[in-house]
């Protein structure tokens, strides 16, 4: 095996918000904002309560089969899972993400691995039911700047394009040069050549970003039966007509989510804020918000506008021209899928917690919110550095300056000016008492002298620390080197590095090893450190 696994409590990493930590701890402050939690007994209760009888399974299966046929590498395992969705005892576990170039940051991979492994765990715990992992492609997203680059070995590789509108419809032209740049960074070992070949097939043979992403995800995860879903589908959006109407004309999500946010803000900050209308108008090269202006509904940054009747007609006949925003998309997902769990990061789970009232108002099942696996990859060189510095894995999550101080204190434990400061303060307190008993007006002078003396000690302490840092310069540099490797640009490794740098090293075994190690325990949830063997 490539890795050995160590788990750490989520709190010990100090990487997460209080809302996320409180959610994991099932704090009373968070309980009003979800229905069922993440453990086996909660899934048992959820499956008992929710039959998903309202889901149009034939329409869903037909749409997924059509989508699967848009690329030529959909696996037999994925096609089998799509067919399984016809059965009332089959459920989905969904994760979603943007169409990031070359899959973007590492956690794109971890999210999908998490969804697949959760399905395996649920199948083991509920053997009479089937669970299908779904990757929901955010094809309608229009934030190109968020997805057009990756970081590989510290270098930024970017795709420049002047295309506008939903990124899933972007043509893949111009990516040949980007792949050539990536090739020079990855080098020419066999693993790199294999991956570059996959990228070339992905982005040259598929003509838009949605199909390219589907092809790439199929190549990496198809053998595990992953089903890739594109919400930008006329037949699927036809199932969501009534919800579009209730948002645009009834403002139900706006009212319900704001009510939840009001309660949530008593303890936490809000992740997203709903708009009165949470729907975009989507056309060729355009995805813009709809706003009500007077008696008409205007598409921002365009000349397009509708009367109420015209917009109702559009919803009825061309729902594919409408696109849900971050508030409405989860509702859309749950309307069309028999979905028991959503696998996401802390930011995603934070905004889902704003939606319980909305789901209740629409009488649609809110899923169980499952944190994805959070992972640090620790190579042999980093482990050796840790050992030499007498640090443990948990130390890596401490602030860099704190680690440097810890190192210096360990190497020079005979230095203790804090005690000297305390003794000096006590001495001056006695002097002040004596001075004040003779002349009260001299108290201020005595206090000033005391502070001057303590400040003098603090200055000496700073100079000593500086001298010790210089003596320990090599070890200090090792600490900062470790921090930069594992938390590049003050971000976590999984939110910065692209998986290609690890595939170049580990090859085809990388993802199967992740699949083996990132399994779910339905009794506890912890942070994962994978140590290279």
- In tens, the pLDDT along 234-257 reads 999 999 999 999 999 999 999 999
- In tens, the pLDDT along 83-92 reads 999 999 999 9
- Select the more confidently predicted residue: 308 or 174: 308
What does the pLDDT average to over 332-345?
A: 98
Instruction: Give whole-number Cα distances, 150 to 165, 187, 514, in Å.
Output: 21, 16, 21
User: Which residues, at least 6 apart from 82, have a Cβ–Cβ distance to it below 8 Å?
Assistant: 61, 64, 65, 68, 132, 227
- In tens, the pLDDT along 498-532 reads 999 999 999 999 999 999 999 998 888 999 999 99
**Both structure tokens of 492:** 């976590």
SS3 for 14-47 is CCCCHHHHHHHCCCCCCHHHCCCCCCHHHHHHHH
Q: Are 320 and 284 in contact (CB under 8 A)?
A: no
Confidence of residue 422 (pLDDT cuts 50, 70, 90): confident
Q: How far apart are the first and last CA of the chain?
A: 7
Give strand pairing partners of 513: none
What does the pLDDT average to over 347-361?
A: 96
Confidence of residue 210 (pLDDT cuts 50, 70, 90): very high
**498 vs 517: CA distance, rounded Å:** 19
Angle, helices 241-248/308-317, rounded to nearest 10 degrees: 160
**Both structure tokens of 339:** 């979905």
Q: Does the pLDDT at position 415 exceed 90?
A: no
Q: Does the pLDDT at position 464 exceed 90?
A: no
Q: Residue written as tokens 């899959």?
A: 103
Phi and psi at residue 56, to the nearest 5°: -85, 85
What does the pLDDT average to over 455-476?
A: 79
**365 vs 339: CA distance, rounded Å:** 8
User: Among 67-71, 123-127, 407-411, whose mean pLDDT is lowest?
Assistant: 407-411
What does the pLDDT average to over 71-95?
A: 98
pLDDT score recorded for residue 410: 75
pLDDT score recorded for residue 416: 58
pLDDT score recorded for residue 493: 96
- Select the more confidently predicted residue: 378 or 427: 378
What does the pLDDT average to over 219-243?
A: 97
- Average pLDDT value over all residues in the chain: 93
**Chain centroid, CA 419 distance in Å:** 45
User: Among 7-11, 285-289, 299-303, 433-437, whose mean pLDDT is lowest?
Assistant: 433-437
**257 vs 359: CA distance, rounded Å:** 10
Q: Does the pLDDT at position 446 exceed 80?
A: no
**512 vs 506: CA distance, rounded Å:** 11
**247 vs 157: CA distance, rounded Å:** 39
Angle, helices 443-471/400-411, rounded to nearest 10 degrees: 90
User: Would you say the pTM of this structure is higher than 0.75?
Assistant: yes
What does the pLDDT average to over 361-378?
A: 97
């Amino acid at each position: 095996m490539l890795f050995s696994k160590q788990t750490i409590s989520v709190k010990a990493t100090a990487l997460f918000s209080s809302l996320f930590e409180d959610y994991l701890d099932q704090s009373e402050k968070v309980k009003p904002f979800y229905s069922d939690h993440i453990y086996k007994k909660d899934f048992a209760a959820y499956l008992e309560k929710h039959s998903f009888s309202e889901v149009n399974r034939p329409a869903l299966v037909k749409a997924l089969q059509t989508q699967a046929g848009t690329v030529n590498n959909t696996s037999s395992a994925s096609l089998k899972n799509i067919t399984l969705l016809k059965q009332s005892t089959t459920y989905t576990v969904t994760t979603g993400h943007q169409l990031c170039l070359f899959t973007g940051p590492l956690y794109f991979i971890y999210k999908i691995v998490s969804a697949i492994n959760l399905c395996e765990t649920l199948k083991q715990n509920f053997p009479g039911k089937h669970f299908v992992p779904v990757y929901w492609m955010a094809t309608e997203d229009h934030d190109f700047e968020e997805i057009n680059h990756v970081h590989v070995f510290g270098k930024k590789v970017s795709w420049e394009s002047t295309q506008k509108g939903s990124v899933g419809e972007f043509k893949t032209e111009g990516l040949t040069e980007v792949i050539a740049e990536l090739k020079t960074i990855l080098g020419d070992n066999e693993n790199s050549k294999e991956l570059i070949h996959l990228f070339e097939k992905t982005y040259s043979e598929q003509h838009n970003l949605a199909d390219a992403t589907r092809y790439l995800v199929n190549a990496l995860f198809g053998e595990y039966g992953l089903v890739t879903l594109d919400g930008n589908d006329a037949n699927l959006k036809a199932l969501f007509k009534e919800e579009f109407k209730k948002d645009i004309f009834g403002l139900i999500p706006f009212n319900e989510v704001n009510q939840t946010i009001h309660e949530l803000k008593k303890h936490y900050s809000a992740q997203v804020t709903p708009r009165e209308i949470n729907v975009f108008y989507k056309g060729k090269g355009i995805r813009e918000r709809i706003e009500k202006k007077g008696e008409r509904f205007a598409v921002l940054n365009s000349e397009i506008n509708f009367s109420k009747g015209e917009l109702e007609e559009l919803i009825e006949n061309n729902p594919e021209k409408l696109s849900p925003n971050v508030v409405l998309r989860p509702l859309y997902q749950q309307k069309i899928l028999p979905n028991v769990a959503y696998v996401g990061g802390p930011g995603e789970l934070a905004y889902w917690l704003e939606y319980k009232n909305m789901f209740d108002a629409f009488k649609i099942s809110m899923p169980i919110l499952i944190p994805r696996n959070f992972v640090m990859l620790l190579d042999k060189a980093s482990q050796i550095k840790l050992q030499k510095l007498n640090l443990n894995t948990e130390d890596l999550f401490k602030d860099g300056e704190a680690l440097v101080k810890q190192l210096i204190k360990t190497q020079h434990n005979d230095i203790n000016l804090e005690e000297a400061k305390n003794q000096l303060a006590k001495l001056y307190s006695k002097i002040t008492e004596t001075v004040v008993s003779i002349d009260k007006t001299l108290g201020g002078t005595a206090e000033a002298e005391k502070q001057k003396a303590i400040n003098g000690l603090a200055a000496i302490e700073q100079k000593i620390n500086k001298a010790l840092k210089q003596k320990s310069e090599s070890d200090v540099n090792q600490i900062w080197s470790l921090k930069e490797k594992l938390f590049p640009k003050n971000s976590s490794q999984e939110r910065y590095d692209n998986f290609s740098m690890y595939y170049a090293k580990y090859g085809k075994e990388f993802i199967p090893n992740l699949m083996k190690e990132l399994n779910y325990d339905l009794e506890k949830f912890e942070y994962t450190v994978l140590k290279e063997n």
